[in-house]
Amino acid sequence: MKRLAVGLPALLAAWLCSACLAPADGRLDETRPAGVTPPAGVNSPASPSRAPSSEPTPAGKPTASEKFQEKTLAFGKSYTWDDGVTVTVGKPAKFMPSEFAVVEKTKDYLRFTVTIVNKSHKPVDLGLTYISVQSRNQEAEHVFDSPTGLNGPPDTKVSRGKASEFDVGFGVADAKDLVMEVALHDHSGRPGLLYSS
């Protein structure tokens, strides 16, 4: 046992000395003494250090963001994210704001019915929903009008297995030129959606 204790430091010292005599280009001498294993963190020429693999994931079912990038949805169509939450934005319908609505005069006022169905494992917080509309490359005005039922997304949570439906209204420059962005910001894994006329 005593001979082994004396032999190990000597063996380690011999290996370190051979490392000190390595060529100037930084490569270790490939003729390492038999039975000597380099300390952790030292690479040998036979097993050079490699960067983490960046190989593409195998072809299969596209992710929600990939499916989203493939096309823009038409009004009236539904979309389901990977976690099981589905959104549907109904086709636009014209309306006239009530006398209590504070809105700027514009050509058309449109309302959309938004339906959220939650088949995920967690509640969906609709208070963090973002909806915007552009018409003729101009930001449309969001109309809040309680007498006509336009209060925006409700400040509630949709429980697992439940659904919620609400209406939103906008004053737009052209009812036939619409792009709507919808995002449920309570979950970063759900990319925003685009609807277009």
Nearest to 87 by CA among 62, 110, 111, 114: 114
pLDDT of 66: 46
Alpha carbon separation from 135 to 3, 19, 24, 179 (Å, rounded): 87, 70, 67, 7
Question: Is 50 exceeded by the pLDDT of residue 4?
Answer: no
Tokens representing residue 41 in the block = 């963190």
Among 53-67, 88-102, 116-130, 134-148, whose mean pLDDT is lowest?
53-67
Contact predicate 171/108, CB 8 Å: yes
Question: In the structure, what pLDDT confidence band is assigned to residue 71 with cuts at 50, 70 and 90?
Answer: low
Among 6-10, 70-74, 129-133, whose mean pLDDT is lowest?
6-10
Q: Would the CA dihedral through 196, 152, 88, 118 be positive or negative?
A: positive
φ, ψ of residue 41 to 5 degrees: the values are 95, -15
Question: Is 50 exceeded by the pLDDT of residue 144?
Answer: yes
Percent of the chain with pLDDT over 90: 55
CA distance linking residue 142 with residue 172, whole number of Å: 9
pLDDT of 15: 45
pLDDT of 60: 43
Mean pLDDT, all residues of the chain: 76
What domains can you pick out in the chain, each with its CATH number? 1-44 (no CATH), 68-196 (2.60.40.1240)
More confident residue, 9 or 98: 98
Question: Is 50 exceeded by the pLDDT of residue 110?
Answer: yes
Question: Is 80 exceeded by the pLDDT of residue 82?
Answer: yes
Among 31-45, 46-60, 144-158, 182-196, whose mean pLDDT is lowest?
46-60
pLDDT of 69: 52
Q: What is the mean pLDDT of residues 56-77?
A: 60
Q: Would the CA dihedral through 62, 66, 68, 70 be positive or negative?
A: negative
Tokens representing residue 144 in the block = 């809040």
Q: What is the mean pLDDT of residues 78-85?
A: 94
As beta bridge partners, residue 52 has: none
